[in-house]
Amino acid sequence: MTTLTPVATRSQATPLTSSAIKSILRKPSTVLGRRPREEDGESSDGLPGSSPAKKRKTVMFNDKLNMIKEFGGKTLDDAKREVKQALEGHARGDDEDYDGLKEIFCPSPKRTIVEEEDADAPQPQDLQVYVVALTSHAPLLDRSCSGLIRAVLSCTWLDRDDVFARAYIQLLAALSAKVSFRQQALSMMVDKFTETRSSTVEVVPGFPPVDSETKKERLHLGLKYLLELYADARPMILDIVTHNFPHTEESKTRHMEYIDHLLRLKADKPDLERDIMELILSRLVKLDVEMTLDLENDDDETTRAVLRQLEASNAKSDDEDDDAMSDADSDDEDEEESDEQTRRILLLKSKLETMDAILDLLFSIYDPVFADPDSPEALATFEDLLTDFVNVILPHLKSRHTQYLLFKFAMKSNRLMEMFIGTLFNIAFQSTRAPVVKQAAVAYLASFTARGARVQSDQVQLIAQTFLDYIDHYRNTHTSCRGPDIRRYSQYYAYFQGLLYIFCFRWRDLIDRDEVPASFDWDDPASFLGQDLPWMKGLRQRLQVNIASKLNPLKCCSPIIVDEFARLSHHLRLIYIYPQIEKNKTIHLSQFFTSSYATGGALRDSGFEFDHENWTHIEACFPFDPFQLPVAKRWLDLDKNYVEWRSIAVLEKGGDDSSDEEEDDDDDVSEDGMGEIADVSDYESDEEGGGVEHHEDDESTDGEGGG
């Protein structure tokens, strides 16, 4: 239980410069005199007895109740009497003193100006006595006192001193005994999450300026206290912080300030950790997906402009960027130099910077945990990350960067890697999962296998073997297939495309190394071209059978991946599929659709868009395409952990089959700005025939190994 430390006397470092406290009641008080009212022009009576300035001003807390006993010469009993009389009058319909009490907590601008000229009016320093008195009478407050509650919650309590802050927290705790007031109190405190920046200093007269860190400490002291007092405050605070999370268009500074408060809340209440981290991750994924869709809808020049802007801003400090991003290029707008395109580029840049900063922060939080990747703490944390991955990241295949949290830490040890791969396989084969989620798991498996530099050859072969087993089983159980149908057989095509993708990146790992002559140079891919290679058992034959089947996977897989596989498999003498590719150009998938698909409704249910030109193909979306965020990139150690796409130089120069014209082309197979395999230059133009062939080279000496 959080304890609000009793304070015996006010610190000499913050002396109280308060005038005498005036009553809020209409009748003169023998202790306080009379509070002046503008409407009747009454004069103020002076305080009887000794002057408050001659009394020692103390703040005393009861050790058990943490209640102030005396303040500024006014006893707590007198303050309680005044507050009680105001509340009772309000219950009878007489609101004059009640309205005066509201004005004490949240003075109107007009009243503030008048009271600045009235030395006898209640001053900002005097509010504390009413805070303590109202705490004692909190049970008298009901729904009819909503106006007073709003006034209390509008009070600038973080910008005063520690004694006031602690007294105010006691008042919030008392008010929160009623559920409706508890919700309002927690909402007020969460609203402060974006108001504690050092650039937003609000000075209360009579109190010194309060720095940002002190305000945060006071705010979270109050939150922790309420969460410990009331068990049902936990779901309330989670709902509130979720609802108040900054929108994707808001500035990086606002996002980071809010997340800083969430992490403080997590530290104070460890039982909220899983919910808070999942919230941060879910909003990061939302921003990630939104950015991907934005960039896909823009042209390449816009994408390049955004990335240039992002790189150029890395040298700037956070302070320089604080207000620039939230204003969305206000300087250009003021000078009327920005057009719509410029504003869009700056908005996209702002989102990318926000995403970069959040992911960089998450890496910094998790990285120390994995210093010993096989420790119990690391394993438990990775299990939590896997849970968040399944619930938050996996359903959104358009996410580009968030999943690298899993990629980085899975690369830390073989055990963590196997946990990640095992989770993906479990989801991919789980019958109760939605098809789109199962296909996403397959895409993650293929992308992780292809890109993970620490995924060993035996693991690559095991995953490829599992993919082959699945497509063979699927083909054997769908013998009634009339032809390619992306709607019915999408899971099959997802596995087949994943297998082709793995081959394009990791074909050397699909070779039986024990059977390769010592003369081969594993670091020189060109040394394998045109050779009879000992491929993994069954690879060639099983690919041939599936490609030639009525399921016709080459027709439904992404043309980009199919074309690159065709080129590599031909030059590596695995299989020759160009005749099948040419034959597929004459096949129209609509002839295989039943009337139930004809309107496109079934396709939309599966995530495919009937009116899009690519609706006939599995999307070439692989989650571990190159990482583009410049700041967070420092955590990934890509040189050691990541397989970059590198085309074979000999093939790019044209090889034996390329014409002189192709040598001058600049259509290399490369990775574009967002990491997909780019389109490929034209292939051999003199191909004839149909079906799948095991192409025999004239120089082949072994029919079994020719490819």
433 exposed, middle or buried (CB, 10 Å; 0-12, 13-18, 19+)? middle
Going by pLDDT thresholds of 50, 70 and 90, the confidence category of residue 684 is: very low
| Cα(219)–Cα(257) distance, integer angstroms | 14
| Cα(223)–Cα(682) distance, integer angstroms | 65
CA atoms within 13 A on the CB side of 120: 16
Q: What is the mean pLDDT of residues 426-432?
A: 94
The residues, ordered by sequence, that sit 6+ positions from 534 with a Cβ below 8 Å of its Cβ are 511, 512, 515, 516, 705
- For residue 505, give the amino acid letter: F
| Cα(571)–Cα(147) distance, integer angstroms | 80
Going by pLDDT thresholds of 50, 70 and 90, the confidence category of residue 692 is: low
The residues, ordered by sequence, that sit 6+ positions from 215 with a Cβ below 8 Å of its Cβ are 158, 159, 192, 196
Q: Does pLDDT of 363 surpass 60?
A: yes
Q: Which residue has the higher pLDDT, 599 or 484?
A: 484
CA atoms within 13 A on the CB side of 436: 13
Q: What is the mean pLDDT of the chain?
A: 78
| Cα(530)–Cα(513) distance, integer angstroms | 17
Residue-by-residue DSSP string for 78-144: HHHHHHHHHHHHHHHT--HHHHHHHHHHS--HHHHHHHHT-TTSPPGGGHHHHHHHHHHTGGG--GG
The residues, ordered by sequence, that sit 6+ positions from 320 with a Cβ below 8 Å of its Cβ are none
Q: Are strands 70-71 and 74-75 parallel, antiparallel or unpaired?
A: antiparallel
Task: Check: CB of residue 355 under 8 Å from CB of residue 307.
Answer: no
Q: 617 vs 264, 295, 481, CA distance in Å?
A: 47, 21, 18
Range of weakest confidence among 305-314, 521-530, 676-685? 676-685
Q: Does pLDDT of 702 surpass 80?
A: no
Range of weakest confidence among 86-95, 184-193, 290-299, 585-594? 585-594
Query: Which of the 8 DSSP states describes residue 71?
Result: E
Going by pLDDT thresholds of 50, 70 and 90, the confidence category of residue 113 is: very low
Q: Does pLDDT of 30 surpass 90?
A: no
CA-CA-CA-CA dihedral for 693, 694, 699, 700, to nearest 10: -160
Q: Which residue has the higher pLDDT, 415 or 527?
A: 415
Going by pLDDT thresholds of 50, 70 and 90, the confidence category of residue 4 is: low
How many percent of the chain have pLDDT more than 70?
A: 68
Contacts 24+ apart (CB under 8 A), 291-295: 291/348, 291/351, 291/352, 291/355, 291/400, 292/398, 292/399, 292/400, 292/674, 293/398, 294/348, 294/351, 295/348, 295/674
The residues, ordered by sequence, that sit 6+ positions from 496 with a Cβ below 8 Å of its Cβ are 467, 471, 546, 553, 557
Task: Check: CB of residue 129 under 8 Å from CB of residue 79.
Answer: yes
Strand partners, 61: 68
Task: Check: CB of residue 384 under 8 Å from CB of residue 277.
Answer: yes
CA-CA-CA-CA dihedral for 323, 327, 333, 337, to nearest 10: 60
Residue-by-residue DSSP string for 335-398: TT---HHHHHHHHHHHHHHHHHHHHHHHHHHHGGGGGSTTSHHHHHHHHHHHHHIIIIITT-TT
pLDDT tens sequence across 613-623: 446 788 888 99
Strand partners, 74: 71
pLDDT tens sequence across 39-93: 333 333 333 343 444 344 344 434 343 444 444 555 677 778 889 999 999 999 9
Distance of CA 433 to the CA centre of its chain: 24
Strand partners, 671: 677
pLDDT tens sequence across 545-578: 999 999 999 999 999 999 999 999 999 999 999 9
CA-CA-CA-CA dihedral for 330, 334, 339, 341, to nearest 10: 0
Query: What are 419's two structure tokens?
Result: 């946990």
| Cα(274)–Cα(258) distance, integer angstroms | 17
pLDDT tens sequence across 616-653: 788 888 999 999 899 999 999 999 999 999 887 667 66
Q: 702 vs 512, 532, 707, CA distance in Å?
A: 17, 7, 10
Q: Does pLDDT of 506 surpass 60?
A: yes
pTM above 0.85, yes or no: no
Q: Which residue has the higher pLDDT, 301 or 561?
A: 561
Q: What is the mean pLDDT of residues 340-368?
A: 92
